[in-house]
Chain A
């Protein structure tokens, strides 16, 4: 009878992953962060945006993707507020509204000068995905006649002169799925020719990367926690993504060790079977 490869009880795998993730979160390792081209493109997009201009950031995720997308959102917002860029928040996901509110609560400690209605506004959630985005491109005020607090947007100074995407410098979507970056890029860039960028979870990056091309459908992409850490490094504000990178590094390393063990066991079993003529 052919020998089967030795199998490790999966609970050992779980235990080691738990330890590997927990320890770096408690004890900081602080491995150096290197920046990549896609992150630099996003950074330059914000950096080259003139002061007092307006950008739109869409929060298209929910708490499940918070560990990866929240640090990105925080870093991008920090960069915008430092540069005195006005920010319009929207959400294509119902929970995105709370995500934006949570980030603003955190950032108001660092930026006490920013004022609601003047420096930023939260327009809230709107159902409809791609069709909503398309309609926003025609007339934003028709889709969002009031902000999430019920204030008519005509009364908000930040919305003066903002009619559609033509009055916005760029759109940035923090996306955990659909509707998200794909929908934004297909409408905002492809139909209205406005710079579009975004951040997504690591697992969804391969599906979004084709949009980062020579036509610059997407101006850079923040993919996963590593990109968030790179952005934090570029703006000189290391935060949760930077500390999370240590945990991710160790977790990936442990997974690779287990893959190696699995392969060694497989080859040993195969060799032994060949020796026994099986």
Chain B
């Protein structure tokens, strides 16, 4: 029963939603609308569940001194500080348990949560993303080597797209006459992005779509049961 009931629910809801796509009238349309609302409520709870899970996993890591447990301390402290500040003094648009924290705003110019968001979190995230530029540069130097015909094609396409994606690229070939305009770097980049890249991407998308249909059917029909947990 413990395993059969979820399978029955999954099957009925799955079939119901498929039918409602083809017959959007009562009762299927109304039922699918109701189910959408359920989904939104569950999504809200999933965020809370995710936070609790994050807290628990990191707490266990510290408690049992698992690999890199020191980083978990940072995560836990940051988590507690942000949640604490948010609960106590609220955020820009809401007040917390202690109200709006006007005395703190006078002192630091912002609510504690917003202060940390604007001055710490925002910059840390931007820094993490910016580091990619350095790693991509180093990786490109090591990986883009023209060893075979395929790698040569990749290399040429990469250089053209990289140049075409900058104002420098346009500037370098801006002198080309109208008859040779197709060799203008932004034009070449546009060609690569519109035809070969999009064609390849469409093939991937169709493959992914078919994969999603396949795995959805497996779940609805109860063939795929890993979501129930256990072995």
Residues of A whose CB lies within 8 Å of any CB of B are 7-8, 10, 13-14, 17-18, 21, 31-34, 36-37, 62-67, 94, 98, 101, 126-129, 131-132, 134-135, 138, 142-143, 148-150, 202, 205-207, 209-210, 224, 226, 229, 245-246, 248-256, 258-259, 261-263, 266
Contacts and interface: CB of A to CB of B under 8 A. Distances in A.
B136 interface: yes
B141 A36 contact: no
Interface string B122-141: 11011011100110111011
Contacts of B39: 128, 131
Contacts of A261: 141
B130 A67 contact: yes
Contacts of B53: none
A135 B36 contact: yes
In this complex, the member of B137, B146, B201 whose beta carbon has the largest number of chain A beta carbons within 10 angstroms is: B137
A226 B167 contact: yes
B15 to A, nearest CB: 18
B160 to A, nearest CB: 10
A104 B92 CA distance: 14
Contacts of B125: 62-64, 66
Interface in B88-104: 92-94
Contact of B144 (A32, A246, A251, A262): A262
B65 interface: no
A99 to B, nearest CB: 10
A148 B167 CA distance: 39
Nearest to B200: A206
B167 A249 contact: yes
B159 A101 contact: no
Contacts of A248: 165-166
Contact of A254 (B33, B137, B201): B137
Nearest to B185: A34
B93 A13 contact: no
B216 interface: no
A101 B92 contact: yes
Contacts of B168: 31, 249-250, 252-253
B150 to A, nearest CB: 15
Interface size class, chain B: 35 or more
A209 B126 contact: no
Contacts of B155: 259, 263
A94 B197 CA distance: 31
A266 B141 CA distance: 11
A250 to B, nearest CB: 7
Top 10 closest A-B pairs, CB basis? A249-B168, A31-B167, A249-B166, A127-B43, A258-B141, A63-B125, A63-B122, A128-B43, A64-B129, A64-B125
Contact of B193 (A21, A126, A209, A246): A209
Nearest to B202: A210
Contacts of A150: 94
A250 B172 CA distance: 13
Contact of A266 (B136, B147, B201): B147
17 contacts: A10-B141, A18-B134, A63-B125, A64-B128, A64-B129, A67-B130, A101-B92, A126-B40, A127-B40, A143-B40, A205-B193, A229-B167, A249-B167, A249-B169, A252-B163, A252-B168, A258-B137
Given A135-B36, A209-B197, A259-B144, 7 more contacts: A17-B134, A33-B170, A36-B186, A66-B122, A134-B36, A143-B40, A262-B145
Nearest to A134: B36
B182 interface: no
B229 interface: no
A4 B71 CA distance: 38
A36 B187 CA distance: 9
